Amino acid sequence: MKFSIMSLDFKRLPLVQCFELAREYGFDGLEIFGCRSHLYPGDFSNELRKQILSYQEKYQIEVPMYTPNVLNLPLCICSPNEKERQDGVEFYKKAVDIASQINAKRLLVVADHPGYTTPRRQIWAYLVESMKEICTYAHGKDVQVTIEPLTPMESPVITTVDDCVELIEDVNDDVLYAMMDIVPPVVVQEPFSKYFNMLSDRLNYIHISNTDGKTDAHTRLDEGVLPLIDVIEIFKRHNFSGFVTAELYSENYRDPELILANTARIIKDIRKKLDL
């Protein structure tokens, strides 16, 4: 099991400083968020590619995931609006190319809220069609297209592990995987172990935080309803060997390094107690 942080939580800092902090605080990786200050797809260039590869080499930090920013933008891959849907697909295709060029082995994809006026069966058909196109484009690029369930208040389309399994079956492409953010299972009252049991080796990534159990809040690891050491014990029992990434976007951006120091201390203590 490896541990990493997400650059979203440090979006007011330069990307190079995120790599530096990840190394200083003992993390294995940095998930890069597609904000303008870090890696917005429209700003990608060969120069930026070289910079990111040099940061990985200098600080010995992997980039396990590239996460373009798509929520609440006109880029929904399951939208009933054909133009919005196709723009979302093209956006993700560009993100596939970026992930491939910066040695990020995974691309995070979400199904944003499609609105309230179209039946779910039709929304699902749109999603499957879009995902097939994105996955086909990813062939040969060494990138795992990774769907992330959201909380029902963010989007009602992919919220459970059953949704993930159904999507993987319907798309039927070997490059499609699923990840677990531990907040949605708490909100929908779904056991963490169900992800491991139902997805098996198609579960390739995990986001951790704490939570109030009612909203989509991602709080610091020691503030919420979850006993994090026991959560990670479950990961260990199921022999999860991939990346576990802290995502704490609900926290105050006033002092991101303070939040990071807190996260690093808690994870270090958990790793010691669980012999990880």
Q: How many helices (H) and strands (E) does the chain have?
A: 9, 8
CATH architecture label of 2-274: Alpha-Beta Barrel (3.20)
Residue 79 has pLDDT above 80, yes or no: yes
Which pLDDT score is estimated for 250? 83
Helix (H) or strand (E) holding 67: strand 66-68
Residue with tokens 């917005």: 40
Instruction: Render pLDDT for 187-217 as a digit per residue (tens, 0 to 9).
Output: 999 999 999 999 999 999 999 999 999 999 9
Rounded distance, CA 150 to CA 175, Å?
20
- Outline where DSSP puts E strands in 187-248: 203-208, 243-246
Long-range contacts of 160-166 (CB under 8 A, 24+ apart): 160/184, 160/185, 160/188, 160/190, 161/185, 161/190, 161/194, 161/195, 161/198, 161/199, 162/198, 164/198, 164/199, 165/198, 165/199
Other beta carbons within 10 angstroms of residue 192's beta carbon come to 20
| Mean pLDDT across 147-170 | 97
What value does the mean pLDDT take over residues 48-55? 98
pLDDT of residue 253: 73
Question: Tell me, what's the pLDDT at 254?
Answer: 81
**Tens-digit pLDDT profile for residues 87-144:** 999 999 999 999 999 999 999 999 999 999 999 999 999 999 999 999 999 999 999 9
